[in-house]
Amino acid sequence: MTLPSILYGLFLLSVVGLYWAIERRSVRIWLVIIASIVFYTSLQVHYVPLMLVLVGLNFWLGRVLTMPADWRVPNEQWQMAEQASYRRRRYWLALGIALNVLLLLGFKYIETWLRLLVPSGLNPEIAAGSWLAIAFPLGLSFFTFECIAYLVDVYRGAPATRNLPEFAAYKLYFPKLISGPITRFHAFNSQLTTEASLNFNWAVEGLWLIGIGAIKKVLIADHIGTLVNLSFDNLPRAGSWDVWLAIFAYGLQLYLDFSGYVDVARGSALLMGINLPQNFNFPYLTTSIADFWRRWHITLGDWLRNYLYFPLGGSRQGLTRTALNLMIVMLIAGVWHGNTWGFVIWGGIHGLALVVHRVNHQLSESWAPLQKFWTQPWGWLAAWGVTQFFVFFSWLFFRLPEPQQFSLAVQKLWGVSSDVQFAQKVYVESLGLTATQLWILLWALMGIMALTGFAQHQLKLQLNWPVKLLLVPLLLFTAWQLAPSETLSFIYFDF
């Protein structure tokens, strides 16, 4: 079952009904575990044992990290015992991180390993293809990031849980299991273990998020995905105008697809009295790349900042070291997304943009005219334009990560006319619209997002609960009736 779908809706209603019918907290936790295993079994039953082993392994590592120094040593040897305990804990942390990272890289780069290890007489394409259909466990990247965050938090002084079912419920919690949002154990567990009753306002908000998520994913993102797939599948015949349209469309598709999933996940959790962290906050309205990363995939940005950027030194060691740290973090983010050069370039573009933003920030502090420029309306508009150009241009390498793909697309960005049949086949016959009409529709979508963001952030306007409750059935029915004939899988399932 996938989010959102009729089967998932029936599953969620069953779980929520049982969850609130059960009064004992311990039984509720076991219900969450069993429901999550059933959910994952419906997607990849062959990886359920792996997930359970990882839960047990990281639970045990957390316990090991909190083992105290030997208190039986004489007083004069206590300091040495403390130092030995510190070295031991650092060793176990390094081992835990290494095991999680190596497992993730092992699966993510399995095609590379197969190409290196298959006999020379066997076609590597065939060998790789026979494995790749089941190669990557869904949700492993988010699962691994949460495990690393938990181990580091325990190493830094947070208490390790002594309750394996609570840890398993956190790790396997089905709304966030596949594509996040990345959640910290202690924040999640405090909500799971609190004796709470069903909150009416949270229930309405949960249903509203599920309805909005369905509209984003099924009604809008999947229809845009049809345009994106048709354009990039016919890239050799496309012109510059077509490539830019496809890039713009893909940026919107990716945002609506991923944020739609998170909306459904957060809405599902709210129905069970759990508030998962927000993951998107109108990122395409930002005027700096730093602000973009504070609003795009927020939990990943927090993870990169807390567990990579700060340990590397952050911005405490001068501009040069700060720039190096930013590039390292974003290159790692690129490698995390995939094993081809396109993802590395994507990370490098964002790293470079962050460095330019940091340099501009320092120059603005020392040069008043530049600082004044950025505060003017035209400065704000320029900042928004430059930021979003970097962001959308980088999506090209995200969507076409193979060198032969993105190199062809880059060659077509300027001064290339499309094949005479491209517009007719892709736009008119397949979509029933011209390229100009598609541009207008996509910019209208951007306008709707801008108005929504302005209403929420500047005017502080929100729909009240009766309106939301009345609109939820309409949203779900509309998404169901107007969905494309072929529903596309979530883009971030690949990561």
Is the bond into 403 cis (omega within 30 degrees of 0)? no
Instruction: Give the gyration radius of the chain's Cα atoms.
Output: 24
b or e along 193-206 (b: 16 or more beta carbons within 10 Å of the residue's beta carbon)?
beeeeeeeebbbbb
CA distance 64 to 61: 5
Exposed/middle/buried for residue 346 (C-beta within 10 Å: 0-12, 13-18, 19+): buried
Active-site residue flag, 361:
no
Sequence-ordered list of residues with C-beta below 8 angstroms from that of 108, at least 6 positions apart, any chain: 136, 141, 338, 339
* Residue given tokens 């529903």 in the structure block: 487
What is residue 323's three-state secondary structure?
helix
Q: Say which of 297, 337, 350, 357 is annotated catalytic.
A: 337
Distance CA 294, CA 283 (A): 8
User: CA distances (Å), 469 to each of 201, 204, 256, 263, in order?
Assistant: 10, 6, 22, 16
C-alpha 390/C-alpha 191 separation (Å) is 39
Task: Give the residue numbers marked as catalytic.
Answer: 337
